[in-house]
Amino acid sequence: MTREGDAKTSAFAVETLGERRHPSPLRLSTTHGDSIADFTNDEATILCDPTSLERAGRGGQTWAPGSRFELAGPRPHNYFRGEDVTAAIVTCGGLCPGLNSVIRGLVHQLWFGYGVRRILGVRYGFRGLGQNALEPMKLDPTAVRHIHRLGGTILGSSRGPLPASEMVDSLQRLGVNVFFCVGGDGTMRGCEAIHREVKARGAKIAVLGIPKTIDNDIPYVERTFGYLTAVSIAEQAISAAHVEAESAYNGIGVVKLMGRHSGYISAAATLASRDVNLVLVPELPFELDGPDGVIAYMRQRLTARDHAVVVVAEGAGQHLLDASGDTDASGNKRLADIGRYLRDRFKRDLAELDVTVKYIDPSYIIRAAPANAADAIFCGQLAEDAVHAAMAGKTGMVLGLWHDRFTHVPLAAVIASQKRLDLDGSFWRNVMDSTGQPALLGADLTAASARA
């Protein structure tokens, strides 16, 4: 019998490669209460929305009432045996704290947990699955011993996909039957294409995505690795901007942070800092001009307090700029530079206050950091559950986190939209409380809102 919201029949049902015949080699328990960790089975699920609000934290995420995600964890029986597995790992797109921790976690769980001995590290992103690519690295516990202390990815990365058929050719040539793909939304689209090609060929390759988005904008995934580290380093840059702002008469510190579509890092770093007076994110409609616009707010703030700190996400205020319409190798639209634009506008429009504007763009320093403690824990857990899922024959899915539990989410779901800050929610309310800025910035917007 299938009840409403059952994970198996819902939009969040996860595919498997086939029957699980092999008892798990893990020495876990099926008895609860014996002080030995338990296996998880496929019936274990978590509600998409455990609150009574039926709208909480959605931000671009939708589901039928009662919908559930499958919980991650080691299964008592597996599709693969360790000795039959050739695993491959690829890291794609921009750097993100924790990539090496994820790689290390995958290698450790494959090697020590399941006895897998053939683990390949694909070089420089999807490019390493091309016809004439560099040889993959051979990965084992010695090769990854110290890498969790280093930022970046020992495998290298790159932007942009190759044709799925060329990549699946390479996977098959290398004999890969378990494939871990670590990357952002572009990468997850490439990963889904690989999954479809694999299915079309009837190949038995488990295709697992591990979402890597420093912006935290993958839907149905509460938090992605690297995000907390990014926030903590972004906070340091804000701190520098605050020092610069306070040390000059009518000093303004402007910090541009990552966030193409979603302002999570900007919002969270603002809360961590408590020194920010204005935060602008892609989700927020705002205007510079007009009696309730950003410039007017800044004038008022400076007059009252002689300095101001502004945080702006790179994707904010794009309507103010003449964007080129170009895209980068990942297919992302090239953004116009809102940070420098704000800097110049502040200099010009607030010149009567004799402002000094200091502009900080800490992006590469943030991206290249190693994982902090919270992310190191998270990366390890994520990697372990990814290996459990793969060994169980799960495929076409990503490892997610939902209400602090690790979950399985279909690739098709996570590439369908982007997660965005909910401006009506409590997190953004905390941010507004912290900056003291008005909820809406811009004459017409406010008017419109007042009418609504």
Task: Find out whether 73 and 39 touch, Cβ atoms under 8 Å.
Answer: yes
**Minimal distance, residue 345 CB to its own copies, in Å:** 19
CA–CA gap between residue 270 and residue 253 (Å, rounded): 13
CA–CA gap between residue 70 and residue 390 (Å, rounded): 14
Choose between 181 and 207: whose C-beta lies nearer to its own copies. Answer: 181
Choose between 324 and 364: whose C-beta lies nearer to its own copies. Answer: 364
CA–CA gap between residue 316 and residue 335 (Å, rounded): 9
Task: Find out whether 67 and 50 touch, Cβ atoms under 8 Å.
Answer: no
For 48-53, which contacts have Cβ atoms below 8 Å and span 24 or more sequence positions? Answer: 48/5, 48/12, 48/402, 50/403
**Minimal distance, residue 346 CB to its own copies, in Å:** 15
- Return phi, psi of residue 197, to 5°: -65, -40
In the block, which residue shows the tokens 């040390």? 247
Task: Find out whether 136 and 167 touch, Cβ atoms under 8 Å.
Answer: no
CA–CA gap between residue 249 and residue 53 (Å, rounded): 47
CA–CA gap between residue 108 and residue 115 (Å, rounded): 10
Burial of 109 (0-12, 13-18, 19+ CB in 10 A): buried
Choose between 83 and 354: whose C-beta lies nearer to its own copies. Answer: 354
**Minimal distance, residue 204 CB to its own copies, in Å:** 26
**Measured at the alpha carbon of residue 374, what is the angle toward residues 371 and 380, in degrees to the nearest 5?**
70
Choose between 167 and 366: whose C-beta lies nearer to its own copies. Answer: 366
**Minimal distance, residue 198 CB to its own copies, in Å:** 26
| Whether residue 215 lies in the annotated active site | yes
**Minimal distance, residue 199 CB to its own copies, in Å:** 28
Active-site residue, selected from the candidate residues 215, 217, 292, 385:
215
CA–CA gap between residue 386 and residue 180 (Å, rounded): 8
Choose between 289 and 306: whose C-beta lies nearer to its own copies. Answer: 306
CA–CA gap between residue 110 and residue 141 (Å, rounded): 10
**Minimal distance, residue 236 CB to its own copies, in Å:** 7
**Measured at the alpha carbon of residue 271, what is the angle toward residues 399 and 300, in degrees to the nearest 5?**
140
- Return phi, psi of residue 413, to 5°: -70, -45
Q: Give one DSSP letter per residue of 237-296, joined into a string.
A: HHHHHHHHHHTSTTEEEEEEE--SS--HHHHHHHHHHS--SEEE-TTS-B-SSSTTSHHH
Choose between 17 and 407: whose C-beta lies nearer to its own copies. Answer: 407
Choose between 209 and 253: whose C-beta lies nearer to its own copies. Answer: 253
**Minimal distance, residue 81 CB to its own copies, in Å:** 19
Residues with Cβ < 8 Å from 130, sequence gap 6 or more? 162, 166, 167, 170
**Minimal distance, residue 302 CB to its own copies, in Å:** 14
Choose between 179 and 406: whose C-beta lies nearer to its own copies. Answer: 406
CA distances from residue 146 to 116, 138, 150, 342 in whole angstroms, order as listed: 20, 16, 8, 42
Residues catalogued as catalytic:
215
